[in-house]
């Protein structure tokens, strides 16, 4: 590899890029999740056992969204953390819980869809809300167990008042090992399960001529949503997080390469993209329940009608002579 002089990393990029993304995610995610959770509360029995997973997905999103204002303040104050070491760790823990909780509950929804479409007779009457609650508790426990070691790594550097999303340079090599294992267990394995389930679902739907057309459409759309979430939010984050950690390890070993600064910038972009999952996860609501789609289409139609009337004025209702 070609060695170059270590150029100074430009931290201004994160300060300029992340706050607008966080503000957008906070507003859109809060409204979308609130609407989705309100629908679930009103139609709890109609949606079925899968609503338990969707509910937990929404709660994981809200847990992270409530920490975003503090991160916006952090970057607006030129990356000076003023909320203390304990709250820094809590903020990062909420991010990890949201990230891996979302992946876990999306995997549960995928497995549920797989069983109900590919093996409908075997699971009929056996998949109940009680099973969903127990599985959800297991997901929370596993995600917490995976994320808990992250809390023991130093997150703040008091001389510079930082709040690292990984850890300080002194513990970088140990954190890289932990991050790679975390990526495999928390992301790669659920991703493979999700892909396997939907590959089998698509094959089954394509071969079956008796499957309801609406069910096929909803399954295809949900697959597209999952592909969007994994390809835009989850895959770049895990790739560039570990690549950035590796670059910091190499720098501590006295080696410098030209791609280090780009690795940092791509990591910040991936952090912005992964935060979008809290705003994109509500798309799952739309493809779990057709009734919610209908309600949303009705609201959009009414909004368009009101906008058209306000734009056109009296002419939208008749001529001037008709009014008088």
Q: Name which residue leads in pLDDT, 57 or 320.
A: 57
322 pLDDT tier (thresholds 50, 70, 90): very low
Judge whether 75 lies within some domain.
Answer: yes
In tens, the pLDDT along 135-170 reads: 999 999 999 999 999 999 999 876 667 888 999 888
Q: Once rounded to an integer, what is the mean pLDDT over residues 26-36? A: 89
Judge whether 51 lies within some domain.
Answer: yes
Judge whether 115 lies within some domain.
Answer: yes
Longest C-alpha distance within the chain, in Å?
85
Judge whether 324 lies within some domain.
Answer: no
pLDDT score of 314 more than 60: no
Q: Which residues contact 77 (CB under 8 A, 6 or more apart)?
A: none
Count how many domains the chain has: 1
Judge whether 293 lies within some domain.
Answer: no
Cβ burial of 200 (10 Å; 0-12, 13-18, 19+) is middle
User: Can you tell me the distance from the alpha carbon of 25 to that of 27, in angstroms, rounded to the nearest whole number?
Assistant: 6
Judge whether 322 lies within some domain.
Answer: no
Q: Name which residue leads in pLDDT, 116 or 173.
A: 173
For residue 253, give its domain range: 12-288
In this structure, what CATH number is given to the domain that contains residue 103?
Answer: 1.20.1070.10
Q: What pLDDT, on a 0 to 100 scale, did the predictor assign at position 216?
A: 72
Length of the chain: 324
Judge whether 318 lies within some domain.
Answer: no
Closest to 73 measured CA to CA, from 138, 23, 7, 127: 23
Q: Which of 45-54, 275-284, 303-312 has the lowest mean pLDDT?
A: 303-312
Judge whether 91 lies within some domain.
Answer: yes
Rg (CA), the chain: 23
Task: Calculate the alpha carbon distances from 51 to 43, 142, 248 in Å.
Answer: 9, 20, 42
In tens, the pLDDT along 155-214 reads: 987 666 788 899 988 899 999 999 999 999 999 999 999 999 988 888 888 887 766 677
Cβ–Cβ < 8 Å for 210, 127: no
User: Can you tell me the distance from the alpha carbon of 242 to that of 220, in angstroms, rounded to the nearest whole number?
Assistant: 32
User: Can you tell me the distance from the alpha carbon of 49 to that of 115, in angstroms, rounded to the nearest whole number?
Assistant: 13
């Amino acid at each position: 590899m070609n060695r170059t002089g270590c150029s100074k990393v430009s931290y201004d990029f994160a300060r300029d890029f992340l706050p607008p993304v966080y503000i957008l995610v906070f507003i859109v995610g809060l409204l979308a999740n609130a609407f989705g959770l309100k629908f679930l509360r009103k139609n709890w029995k109609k949606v079925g056992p899968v609503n338990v997973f969707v509910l937990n997905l929404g709660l994981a999103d809200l847990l992270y969204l409530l920490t975003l204002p503090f991160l916006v303040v952090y970057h607006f104050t030129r990356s000076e953390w003023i909320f203390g070491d304990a709250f820094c760790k809590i903020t990062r823990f909420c991010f990890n819980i949201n990230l891996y909780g979302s992946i876990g509950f999306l995997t549960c929804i995928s497995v549920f869809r797989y069983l109900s479409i590919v093996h409908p007779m075997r699971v009929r009457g056996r998949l109940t809300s009680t099973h969903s609650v127990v599985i959800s508790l297991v997901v929370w426990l596993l995600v917490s167990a995976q994320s808990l070691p992250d809390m023991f790594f130093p997150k703040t550097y008091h001389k510079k008042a930082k709040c690292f999303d990984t850890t300080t340079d002194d513990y970088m090599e140990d954190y890289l090992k932990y991050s790679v294992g975390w990526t495999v267990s928390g992301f790669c394995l659920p991703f493979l399960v999700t892909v396997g389930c939907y590959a089998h679902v698509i094959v089954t739907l394509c071969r079956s001529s008796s499957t309801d057309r609406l069910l096929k459409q909803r399954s295809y759309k949900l697959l597209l949503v999952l592909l969007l979430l994994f390809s835009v939010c989850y895959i770049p984050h895990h790739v560039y997080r570990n690549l950035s950690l590796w670059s910091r390890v190499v720098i501590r070993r006295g080696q410098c390469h030209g791609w280090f600064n780009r690795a940092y910038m791509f990591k910040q972009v991936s952090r912005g993209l992964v935060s979008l999952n809290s705003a994109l996860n509500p798309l799952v609501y739309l493809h779990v329940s057709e009734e919610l789609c209908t309600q949303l289409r009705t609201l959009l139609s009414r909004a368009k009608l009101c906008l058209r009337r306000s734009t056109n004025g009296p002419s939208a209702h008749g001529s001037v002579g008709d009014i008088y």
